[in-house]
Amino acid sequence: MKTNNILKISVLSLLVTLCAPLFSQIQTFQWQGVQRQYLVRAPLQTDKSTIPVMFFLHGWTDNITHVDNEFHFQQVADELGWTVVIPQALDQGSGTMWNAGLNASDIDDSGFLMALLDSLAEPYQLNLDSVFFTGFSMGGFMTHRMAIEHGDRITACAPVSGLITHSMANQTPVAPVRMLHIHGTADPVVGYSGTSQYFGNLGIGVSAILDYWKNANGCAIDPIIDTFPDRKNDGLRFVRYTYEGDTELQHIKVIGGNHTWYHSEDQFDIGYLTEIHKFFVGNDGGNVNVGESEQSEFRLWPNPTSGQISFETTNATDIKVIDLQGRCVAMYSLRPGINSIDLGNLPIGLYFIKETRSGIVRKVMVRK
């Protein structure tokens, strides 16, 4: 009997030891007298002195464990070399829900998220000049709120299937912020027009959202429009609207798109997270090579271009031209000084120019 008890205690101790790392992954942060939960997925290896950080805000009734499993955020962190923070919304009686201005609430989620960012900066070596927010559904609503209230500290935002609530639409953003809004035209839960089939009017529609951010960001009225290649039999069409200006605004309109985060590029023409990351790092918006811009000056013009484009670099280097599917469509060697190349043989559309020596990425639009 005593041997069995010792065996049980030993097995129990072993299980506790093995499970402790799993449970310890969920961390807590006290805010407004409440212990708030969050997960951090940091890259296992990095040669950067400071690391870009992306917050992912989950949807209504969802939780951090579920989205972490669904998105495989540790793999994302390792592949991008970014730290991913997944905070937990509080249960407000009808499930976990961010205070995005939809209902009367005294929960200061906006303050909580910025305080959490500050608390993680030193232990995770975060680069506070490369802070990004994205989120789905109610998390998309909250991403808009963060952009409106904290755009002076956030580099870029990408809300997915989330609107700006009427109360937030009455506020003036504290600063321009690079914005990518993704939304499906057939979304019954958070309607493209702002009305839900289930919950009524939730906020201003996508057209009004674009007008809101065009005004805030000093963007052109008319967009550059490019359609993603229809490679998959997914019944969807993905169209990008780019509004150029002082601070860039983009919209990916998912024609036929439902209230869904489209993950896999094996099944769909695009993967949302891939496009969000491209937007974050494009146009210097998310220069993940911190400090290298001081070592390597790299400029290009004109942009947009009808084909001929000039590059200026302080050092000899190579560049890759990458299309929206992530394929390298051309490579060039540049000498120190000003170089000229012709991209006129490429189809009209958006491309990424990557300097291979430093990893700096620029975005260029090819027109005819």
- In SS3 terms, 204-260 reads as ECHHHHHHHHHHHHCECCCCEEEECCCCCCCCCEEEEEEECECCCEEEEEEECCCCC
The pLDDT, as a whole number, for residue 338 is: 84
What is the C-alpha to C-alpha distance for residues 151 and 142, in angstroms, rounded to an integer? Answer: 13
Q: Which two tokens stand for residue 218?
A: 């000093």
Helix (H, G, I), strand (E, B) or coil at 102: coil
Q: Which of 10-24, 102-116, 134-148, 261-275 has the lowest mean pLDDT?
A: 10-24
Confidence of residue 108 (pLDDT cuts 50, 70, 90): very high
Q: Is residue 279 located within the same domain as residue 296?
A: no
- β-pairing, 361-366 vs 349-355, is antiparallel
Contact 175/157 with Cβ under 8 angstroms?
Answer: no
CATH number at residue 303: 2.60.40.3080
Q: Which residue has the higher pLDDT, 282 or 316?
A: 316
Q: What's the pTM value of the predicted model, to 2 decimals?
A: 0.73
Confidence of residue 24 (pLDDT cuts 50, 70, 90): very low
Q: Where do the H-state alpha helices sit in the chain? A: 2-24, 64-71, 73-80, 109-121, 138-150, 166-169, 206-217, 272-281, 292-295
Contact 190/137 with Cβ under 8 angstroms?
Answer: yes
Domain boundary (284, 319, 349) is at 284
The answer to whether residue 257 scores a pLDDT higher than 90 is yes
The pLDDT, as a whole number, for residue 209 is: 98
The pLDDT, as a whole number, for residue 122 is: 95
Contact 263/73 with Cβ under 8 angstroms?
Answer: no
The answer to whether residue 10 scores a pLDDT higher than 50 is no
* Mean pLDDT for the stretch of residues 32-58: 91
CB proximity list for 124: less than 8 A, separation 6 or greater: 40, 42, 51, 53, 83
Q: Tell which residue, 354, 321, 309, 317, has the closest CA to residue 336.
A: 317
Sign of CA dihedral 143, 145, 146, 152: positive
Contact 334/324 with Cβ under 8 angstroms?
Answer: no
Q: Is residue 300 located within the same domain as residue 260?
A: no
Domain boundary (263, 284, 305) is at 284
- In a domain, residue 217? The reply is yes
The pLDDT, as a whole number, for residue 20 is: 33
The pLDDT, as a whole number, for residue 12 is: 33
The answer to whether residue 21 scores a pLDDT higher than 70 is no
The answer to whether residue 210 scores a pLDDT higher than 90 is yes
Contact 164/212 with Cβ under 8 angstroms?
Answer: yes
Q: Is residue 168 located within the same domain as residue 308?
A: no
The pLDDT, as a whole number, for residue 297 is: 59
- In a domain, residue 16? The reply is no
* Mean pLDDT for the stretch of residues 323-339: 84
- In a domain, residue 8? The reply is no
- In the chain the first and final C-alpha atoms are separated, in Å, by 85
Q: Is residue 230 located within the same domain as residue 305?
A: no
Q: Is residue 193 located within the same domain as residue 322?
A: no
Domain boundary (284, 317, 350) is at 284
Q: Is residue 246 located within the same domain as residue 339?
A: no
The answer to whether residue 282 scores a pLDDT higher than 60 is yes
Confidence of residue 39 (pLDDT cuts 50, 70, 90): very high
- Which strand ranges, in their side-by-side order, compose the sheet holding 308-313? 298-301, 308-313, 337-342
Q: Is residue 63 located within the same domain as residue 120?
A: yes
- In a domain, residue 86? The reply is yes
Average pLDDT over all residues of the chain? 86
Q: Is residue 61 located within the same domain as residue 115?
A: yes
The answer to whether residue 48 scores a pLDDT higher than 80 is no
- Give the number of C-alpha atoms closer than 13 A to the C-alpha of residue 296, restricted to the C-beta side: 22
Q: Is residue 219 located within the same domain as residue 309?
A: no
CATH number at residue 56: 3.40.50.1820
Q: Is residue 300 located within the same domain as residue 278?
A: no
Confidence of residue 70 (pLDDT cuts 50, 70, 90): very high
* Mean pLDDT for the stretch of residues 282-307: 55
- Cis? peptide before 302, omega within 30° of 0: yes
What residues make up the domain containing 341?
292-366
Q: Which residue has the higher pLDDT, 187 or 247?
A: 187
- In a domain, residue 9? The reply is no
Q: Tell which residue, 226, 55, 213, 209, has the closest CA to residue 139.
A: 55
Contact 316/330 with Cβ under 8 angstroms?
Answer: no
Q: Is residue 259 located within the same domain as residue 354?
A: no
Q: Tell which residue, 120, 129, 202, 124, has the closest CA to residue 159.
A: 202
- In a domain, residue 54? The reply is yes
- In a domain, residue 79? The reply is yes
Domains contained in the chain, number: 2
- In a domain, residue 4? The reply is no
* Mean pLDDT for the stretch of residues 192-208: 97
Q: Is residue 179 located within the same domain as residue 240?
A: yes
